[in-house]
């Protein structure tokens, strides 16, 4: 994805003028142990702990996520329930992280606080190891918060197995189509007026970014170069193709059939999860598992089967895998 493609993706949510009316979403916060936070501060610093500061810091991060949820409520209400669920989970997990972090920091004082005499070296090593684990948890939470933002910008991949996949794809197609018309109109306005002033198709942020791009030497002449329109149009065609294929698959009913000449093996076309699934009685032999893996079937502990995305290619792969398994069992 080039700079302009990122720019277009970033501004897709500006395609509707004005903001829709909507109520603020209730924000859910979880308990931060101020006692642990105070102890952690005292174990690592000579300065006094500011009461309530740990809770304020935690709520600041949570508020950033809920600010995005408020925008989703106005601009993409069909994604609101999913966004609210993710925001609440983020809030809960972030509180758990902070409490674990303060507990670990309080577990062993800094050598500057306690002094070097009889310093608990092994305890400090254990604390440092826990710090590494907590850092990974923090990175996970940062990525999780980004997923909520992606619901707004539609940058996250839309999986065919998503319950609202068709609705999400239709929303993305709508945004891409509106952006295409907006880019064409903005280019036509600039060719006629020789300025971006007064162009209703551009928000202030969009105009400012275009002008900044021009100063960097990016395509100058029109707000959106031909390749931007071409790339966006290709995405429109791709999404249309996915929609047509997905609607066709979703119109089918889930089917389940036992495989002839392979007792205990069942093929299921799971339309709800958009997965082609192979069920075995018991654990398949290593040779059979290798066959399944070669045909890109993966083991699903949750569903207790070998599966891959439900497509015509998957149906063909299942037939090939079954024939190879039959041949292997005849040897």
Report for 26-30, 213-217, 221-225: range of highest mean pLDDT: 26-30
Confidence of residue 156 (pLDDT cuts 50, 70, 90): low
Q: How far apart are the first and last CA of the chain?
A: 50
User: Does pLDDT of 66 surpass 90?
Assistant: yes
pLDDT, tens only, 102-120: 999 888 888 777 676 777 7
Distance CA 224, CA 233 (A): 13
What is the three-class DSSP state of 308? Answer: strand
User: Does pLDDT of 14 surpass 50?
Assistant: no
Domain range summary for the chain, segments of one domain joined by +: 31-153, 165-250, 255-330
pLDDT, tens only, 286-317: 999 999 999 999 998 888 999 998 888 899 99
Tell me what the mean pLDDT of segment 69-96 comes to.
Answer: 89
Confidence of residue 10 (pLDDT cuts 50, 70, 90): very low
User: Does pLDDT of 18 surpass 50?
Assistant: no
Give residues with Cβ within 8 angstroms of 193, minimum separation 6. Answer: 199
What is the three-class DSSP state of 183? Answer: helix
Q: Note the pLDDT of residue 23.
A: 52
User: Does pLDDT of 155 surpass 70?
Assistant: no
For 32, 44, 110, 267, 293, the CA distances from 48, given in Å and listed in that order, are 18, 11, 15, 65, 59
User: Does pLDDT of 54 surpass 80?
Assistant: yes
Q: Note the pLDDT of residue 263.
A: 86
Distance CA 179, CA 133 (A): 43
DSSP code for 14: G
Confidence of residue 121 (pLDDT cuts 50, 70, 90): confident
Selection from 268, 255, 273, 271 nearest residue 306 by Cα: 268
pLDDT, tens only, 227-282: 889 999 999 999 999 888 888 877 777 888 888 788 889 999 888 888 899 999 98
Distance CA 172, CA 321 (A): 36
For 97, 202, 205, 239, the CA distances from 69, given in Å and listed in that order, are 22, 24, 21, 25
What is the three-class DSSP state of 38? Answer: helix
Tokens 């599966």 found at: 307
Query: How many whole angstroms from its chain centre is CA 166?
Result: 17
Is residue 20 classed exposed, middle or buried when 0-12, 13-18 and 19+ CB atoms within 10 A define those classes?
A: exposed
Instruction: Give me 109's structure tokens.
Output: 């004082």
Q: Note the pLDDT of residue 13.
A: 37
Q: Note the pLDDT of residue 22.
A: 44
User: Does pLDDT of 97 surpass 50?
Assistant: yes
């Amino acid at each position: 994805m080039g700079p302009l493609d990122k720019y277009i993706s970033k501004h897709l949510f500006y395609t509707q003028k004005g903001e829709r009316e909507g109520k603020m979403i209730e924000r859910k916060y979880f308990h931060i142990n101020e006692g642990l936070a105070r102890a952690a501060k005292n174990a690592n610093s000579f300065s006094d702990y500011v009461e309530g500061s740990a809770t304020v810091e935690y709520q600041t991060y949570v508020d950033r996520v809920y600010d995005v949820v408020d925008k989703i409520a106005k601009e993409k209400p069909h994604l609101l329930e999913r966004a609210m669920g993710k925001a609440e989970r983020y809030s809960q997990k972030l509180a758990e992280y902070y409490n674990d972090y303060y507990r670990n920091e309080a577990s062993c004082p800094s050598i500057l606080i306690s002094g070097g005499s009889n310093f608990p070296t092994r305890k400090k090593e254990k604390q440092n190891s826990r710090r590494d684990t907590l850092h990974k948890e923090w990175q996970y939470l940062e990525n999780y918060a980004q997923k909520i933002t992606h619901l707004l910008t539609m940058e996250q991949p839309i999986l065919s197995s998503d319950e609202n996949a068709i609705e999400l794809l239709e929303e993305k197609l709508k945004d891409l189509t509106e952006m295409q018309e907006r880019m064409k109109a903005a280019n036509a306005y600039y060719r006629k007026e020789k300025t971006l002033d007064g162009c209703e198709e551009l928000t202030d942020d969009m105009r400012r970014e275009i002008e900044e791009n021009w100063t960097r030497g990016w395509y100058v002449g029109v707000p959106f170069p031909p390749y931007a329109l071409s790339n966006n149009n290709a995405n429109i065609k791709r999404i249309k193709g996915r929609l047509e294929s997905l609607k066709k698959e979703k119109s089918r009913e889930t089917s389940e059939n036992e495989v002839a000449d392979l007792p205990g093996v069942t093929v299921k076309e799971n339309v709800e999860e958009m997965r082609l699934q192979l069920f075995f009685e018991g654990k398949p032999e290593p040779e059979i598992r290798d066959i399944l893996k070669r045909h890109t079937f993966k083991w699903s502990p949750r569903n207790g089967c070998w599966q891959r995305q439900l497509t015509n290619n998957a149906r063909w792969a299942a037939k090939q895998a079954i024939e190879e398994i039959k041949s292997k069992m005849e040897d």
